[in-house]
Structure 1
C-alpha cells in the first residue's frame, strides 16, 4: 500500500521559463540593446548551452565547464552557480554580467510555472492521507518558489541534493526521504521526469512513475495519473 509519494521538482511539479523568456526578463528596459535577430540568436545559444537551470541540458558541454558538470554541480550551491554562469557566458552574451542575472532569475518564483494538474493532484493525495516529499537534484532552495505558487503547504519533507550532499540516482537520497516520511521504501512512490536519476529509487524497492519534461502547456495531466497508482 502506498503511504507516501516523492516528487521531483523541476520538470515534474514545475517548469522553468524558456531561455527566450529568461533573457527578455533580465534585459528589461535597462539592459544591453539587441535587435530582434540578435535576441533570437542569443536565446537560441543559451538554450543549446543548457544555461537555464531546470531547463534542457546542454547539447555539448564546453571544455572549461566540463569538470563542474561532471563533478555533480548539484551538490554545491557555489559549484551550481559557477557551472550555469559558465554555460551562459559560453553562449556569447552581449554583456558577461548577464550570466549572473540569468542565474539569479532562475530561482525567482516568476521564472517558474506549476504544471496544470500539480496542485489538484497534491491536494487529492493529502485528502487521502498520503505523506508527500520533494526529492530534487538542485543547487538552490526552491522553497520560496513552492510557497509563492501555493504548493509548499502540501509537503512534509524536502530533500535537496545540495543540502544533503547526495544526488539522485544514489539510493541514499531516496532513503533519506523515506526515513523523514517515516515509511519503508516499499510503501513510497517516486514521481519524476529523469529516466536515469529518478529511477534510482527502484533500487530501494520504491515504485517509480515517470512523466515527460515538457513545456507546461503540453502536459496537462501526467501528474493526475498518480492518483490511479495509489
Structure 2
C-alpha cells in the first residue's frame, strides 16, 4: 500500500540541539577551571541522549528519569541533577544550560527538514510529529514557517504515553486519518521509534548526526520507502 502519511521523530531526526560555544561562557568546573572542548561536548551529549542514562542516580532521581518525558517538572529535576553530577557546580549555571535545552529556538533543523516537510505537504501526504519530550516544540516549526506543513503533533507529556508504547503511535495514526499500513515512521532510534512497527507501520531509520554531517538523510529515508 502506498504511503499516505509520515510520522517524524523530533530530536535527532528533524532537529538537533547543536553545541554553541556561547552557552559555556563563564561556565567552570568544581575547582573554577573553565570547561574545555571535550567537557563541553560531553555535557551536550548528556543533555541530549534520549534513552541512555550517563550518570548514577538515586532512587528519587531514577524515578524522575523514567517518567521525565511525561512531566515537565520531573524533566527539569532530572536534567538539573545530571548537570550537577556532570560537573556544573552552581544552580544558576545549571538552570541556564537547562533553559537552552528546552528552548525550541535553540534547536537547529537538518538541512533537508524544511524541503521535505514542504514537499510532503504539497503532495498531499499527511505529516505528523511524534516526540518523547516534556516541552512544547511547536515554536521551532512556527519560527521557520513550517507549522503549516505539520498536520498533527503528538508530544508525550501532553498525551501521557511515550514511545515505544504502541498506543502513542496509534494516537497519531488515528489523528492523521491514515491506515497504519499506509503510514511511515521516521526516527533515529530503532527501539523507540521502531515501535511503530507493532501497529503495522513501516519504519525508516536516520542517524542522529550533527546537522552539518547529514544533508539529505530524511529524503534518502523517504525514497527508500517510495515517498517523494
TM category (shorter chain) comes to: 0.7 to 0.9
Q: Deviations for 1:60-111, whole angstroms, at most 9, x for unmatched residues?
A: 3222333322x23111111111111110111122422211111111122442
Name the counterpart of 2:62.
66
- Please report how far the alpha carbon of residue 209 of structure 1 lies from its aligned counterpart in structure 2 after TM superposition: 0.5
- Residue of structure 1 in register with 2:35 after alignment: 39
Residue in structure 2 matched with residue 114 of structure 1 by the alignment: 109
The CA distance in 1 between the partners of 2:187 and 2:165, in whole Å, is: 15
Aligned residues: 220
Instruction: Kindly report which structure 2 residues correspond to 1:72-221, keeping only aligned pairs within 5 A, or say none.
Output: 72-221=67-216
| TM-superposed deviation, 1:213 | 0.8
Is the 8 Å Cα contact of residues 137 and 161 (structure 1) preserved in structure 2?
yes
Q: Say which is worse superposed, 211-220 or 36-45, in terms of deviation.
A: 36-45
The structure-2 alpha-carbon separation of the partners of 1:209 and 1:194, relative to structure 1 and needing over 3 Å to count, comes to same
- Secondary structure, in 3 states, of the residue corresponding to 1:5? strand
**Alignment TM-score, normalising by the size of structure 2:** 0.87
* Residue 24 (structure 1) aligns with: 22
Q: Give deviations 1:4-24, integer Å, cap 9, x for gaps.
A: 000000000001022xx2x73
Shift of 1:173: 0.4
TM normalised by structure 1 equals 0.87
Residue of structure 1 in register with 2:6 after alignment: 5
The CA distance in 1 between the partners of 2:118 and 2:145, in whole Å, is 11
CA–CA separation in structure 2 for the residues paired with 1:224 and 1:118: 9
Kindly report the root-mean-square deviation, in angstroms, between the aligned alpha carbons of the 2 structures: 2.3
Deviates most, 186-195 or 59-68? 59-68
